[in-house]
Structure formats: C-alpha cells, structure tokens
C-alpha cells in the first residue's frame, strides 16, 4: 500500500514538472489534481487580465507588475523584445504557446471538453492582447504608471510594518496595565511602604502614558499613509487623463482635472506643515531621592527612560517617513498641475490664470515649500 502511494505521488510530481509533450498521453483529465491545476491556470489568467485592465483605466493594483509581464518594465530594450514575442503569439503561435501549458491535452487537446476550448482560447488571447496593449503605451506614460505603482507598493508595505509595530505596542500596553494594577493592589493592601508604593505607581503610570502615545502616533501614521495611498490613486487617474491625445480630451475634462489635482496638491501641502509634536509630547520621567527607592522602582525608572527614548525615535521616524512620502506626492501633483496648465493654455479662455485669492494662496504655498527638503 505504501509503495503504491509513493508511486502515485511520483506520478503527480512528474506530470506537473515535465513539459506537456512528455506526459500528455498519460494525463487523466478527470484527476482532481489535474482539474485543480487547470482551474488555477485559468484563475491566474483572469486575475492578470483584470490587473492590466485596471492599469489601462488609471487604477493601481496591489502586486508588482514585473510578475505579471515576467520582465523589468523599466527596461526599454526588454519591453521592445517582449512586444515582438507577444505579436508573434497573436499572429501565428497562439495555439503553439497554449500547447506548452501544463495539461494542455485537457485544455485544448483531444481530451479537452469541446464546450470549453473556445472560451479558454479566448481568455488566453485576451490576456496576450492586454499585455501588448499595455506595453504599446508611450514610454513616458508607461514609466509614469510604474512610478505610481512602485510608490503604492512601498506605501502598503509601510502600512503593514506600522500595523506590526501597533501589535507590539498593544502587547506592551497590556503588560504595563497589569503591572499598574499589581502595584495599585499592593499599595491598597499596604504590602509596600507608602513612599515606595507611591513612587512605583507614579513611574508605571508614566510608562502607561508613553505606550498609549505610541499607539496614538502609529494609528495616526497608518491613517496618514492611507490618505497618501488614496491621493496617489486619484493622481494616477488624472495622469492617465492628461497623457491622452489632445483630440480625445475635452477642455471641460482638462479644467476638471486641473482643479481636482490642485485640490489634492493643496491638501497635501497644507498637511505637510502641520505638526502634532506638542500634543504628542511624552511625559517627563519623575525624579526621586534614589536612596529612598527600592530596587524594583529604580529598575522601573530606567525602563521608563528607555521607553521614552524609543518613543521619541519612533515619532521622529514616522514623521520623517510620512513627510518624505507626502513631499514626493506633492512634487508629482505639481508636475500634473503644470501639464494640465500647459494644455489649458492652448484655449483662449484662461480663468485658471486669473489673479484671485485662491491663486495668491497657492503662490504662498509654493514659497513655503521652497526651503523644505526631506531627510
């Protein structure tokens, strides 16, 4: 029995790993493993097609595009080669390419369900066509999408890292809450002398206040990154609009695009110079006459000092990273504003260039931005 199981396992491994021509005659298209592999292949095609459609419509996706296209999309030479390969697939090699798929006999071969063959071929062709359509985009537009996409992936990674820090801080807060309850109970039972109990209670309250502040700033950092992510999605959609051929974009759409991008630019810039440092300032560590303190209290004071130092470092890093992200997006929004303005200049109506309160305030914003440089 054990030998038969091993042989079955070896057969499945060989079927999955060898080229289709090596095992096509032995494939059981009703085998549950084979059916699962085919379903996964078709699901992957649908997923990739959906991602490329989103990109072409101005939406950002959650995964690296290089994995979808199997090349470095910033490499112009490799993109050109890939376009030639995809065109060949569409013109002469579509079925040949599909015959290289795992279990091709069950997908388009003699053992395939005739009712499904055309649908499967249509899905594969659609995926190839969408890839080619994306690669055919002008280099500037393709690189713009890649830039937005890369920043979005970094943004999501940072959110995940902050969520991890939040989890650790919450665990720390729970531990300190337990310690605080213990010393309060001990004080109530007079197990500690009054001075020692009061000192220990005060230090642990300070530690609890510091970890509560940690939770507060990590939550705010996560919200900030979420806002940046939403703003990046919005700007990417307008980048798609402004990069279209002039003949395909109405003046009304250009004006709306300019106003929307300017609104995002203003929000990002105004938020950049806000500082929560005063409201997020950690409490000072209380001082005592050390000769009257127990070893436990002295240890707690040292831990509180270290906790406070870690908090200040975390606050500095979160603020710096958030501002750098915002600053990069402000520059992107500024470039898009300039592109929209350039296209709007071609029209004789020029209300966006009038000197009004909003435009004066925008000039002030630009002046305030000049000395700022992310670290």
36-51 per-residue burial string, b: 16 or more CB within 10 A, e: under 16: ebbeebbeebeebbeb
pLDDT tens for the chain, 375 residues long, are 444 443 443 343 333 333 333 344 456 777 777 777 778 888 888 888 988 888 887 777 777 777 778 788 888 888 888 888 888 887 777 777 777 776 777 766 666 666 677 777 888 888 889 999 888 888 877 888 888 887 777 777 777 778 788 787 777 777 777 777 776 665 544 554 556 677 878 888 888 888 888 888 888 888 888 888 888 888 888 888 888 776 777 888 888 888 899 999 988 888 887 766 667 888 888 888 777 778 888 888 898 899 899 989 988 888 888 888 888 889 889 999 988 888 888 765 666 666 677 777 888 788 777 666 554
What is the DSSP track for 47-104? HHHHHHHHHHTT---SS-HHHHHTS-TT-HHHHHHHHHHHHHIIIIIHHHHHTTSTTH
User: What does the alpha-carbon distance between residue 95 and residue 113 come to, in Å, rounded to a whole number?
Assistant: 16
Does the predicted TM-score (pTM) go above 0.75? no
Region class of 63: left (phi > 0), else alpha (psi between -120 and 50), else beta: beta
Q: What's the CA gap between 340 and 238, in Å, rounded?
A: 9
Distances (CA, A) of 185 to 179, 198, 220, 304: 10, 12, 34, 21
CB atoms within 10 A of CB 243: 18
How many residues are given for the chain? 375
Backbone dihedral angles phi then psi of residue 229, each to the nearest 5 degrees: -60, -45
| d(C-alpha 358, C-alpha 352), whole Å | 10
Evaluate whether 90 touches 125 at the Cβ level (below 8 Å). yes
- CA triple 166-171-175, angle to 5 deg: 145
Q: Per residue in 63-74, pLDDT tens?
A: 777 777 878 888
Cα 321 to Cα 165: distance, rounded to the nearest angstrom? 15
For the chain, domain boundaries: 2-135, 150-163+219-290+302-369
Task: Tell me how far apart the alpha carbons of residues 319 and 71 are, in angstroms, rounded to a whole number.
Answer: 35
What lies within 8 Å, CB to CB, of 243 at 6+ separation is 138, 140, 141, 144, 339
CA distances from 375 to 25, 212, 273, 321 (A): 63, 27, 15, 9
CA-CA distance, 254 to 345, in Å (whole number)?
11
């Amino acid at each position: 029995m054990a030998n038969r199981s091993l042989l079955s396992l070896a057969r499945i491994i060989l079927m999955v790993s060898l080229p289709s021509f090596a095992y096509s005659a032995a494939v059981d298209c009703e085998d549950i493993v084979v059916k699962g592999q085919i379903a996964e292949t078709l699901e992957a095609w649908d997923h990739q097609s959906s991602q490329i459609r989103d990109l072409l419509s101005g939406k950002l996706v959650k995964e690296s595009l290089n994995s979808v296209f199997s090349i470095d999309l910033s490499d112009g030479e490799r993109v050109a080669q890939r376009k030639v390969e995809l065109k060949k697939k569409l013109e002469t090699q579509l079925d040949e390419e599909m015959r290289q798929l795992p279990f091709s006999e069950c997908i388009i071969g003699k053992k395939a369900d005739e009712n499904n063959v055309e649908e499967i071929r249509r899905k594969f062709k659609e995926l190839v066509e969408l890839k080619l359509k994306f690669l055919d985009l002008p280099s500037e537009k393709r690189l713009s999408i890649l830039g937005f996409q890369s920043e979005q992936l970094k943004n999501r990674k940072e959110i995940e890292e902050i969520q991890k820090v939040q989890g650790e801080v919450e665990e720390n807060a729970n531990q300190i809450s337990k310690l605080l309850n213990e010393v309060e109970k001990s004080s109530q039972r007079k197990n500690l002398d009054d001075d020692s109990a009061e000192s220990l209670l005060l230090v642990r309250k300070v530690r609890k206040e510091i970890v509560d502040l940690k939770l507060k700033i990590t939550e705010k950092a996560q919200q900030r990154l979420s806002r940046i992510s939403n703003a990046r999605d919005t700007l990417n959609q307008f980048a798609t609009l402004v990069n279209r051929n002039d003949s395909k974009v109405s003046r009304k759409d250009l004006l709306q695009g300019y106003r929307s991008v300017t609104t995002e630019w203003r929000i990002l810039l105004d938020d950049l110079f806000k500082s929560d440092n005063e409201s997020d300032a950690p409490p000072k560590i209380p001082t005592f006459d050390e000769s009257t303190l127990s070893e436990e209290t002295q240890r707690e004071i040292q831990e509180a000092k270290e906790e406070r130092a870690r908090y200040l470092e975390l606050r500095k890093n979160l603020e710096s990273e958030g501002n750098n992200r915002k600053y990069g997006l402000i520059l992107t929004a500024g470039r898009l504003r300039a592109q929209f303005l350039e296209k709007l200049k071609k029209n004789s109506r020029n209300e966006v260039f009038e000197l009004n309160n909003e435009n004066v305030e925008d000039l002030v914003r630009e002046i305030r931005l000049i000395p700022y440089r992310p670290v």
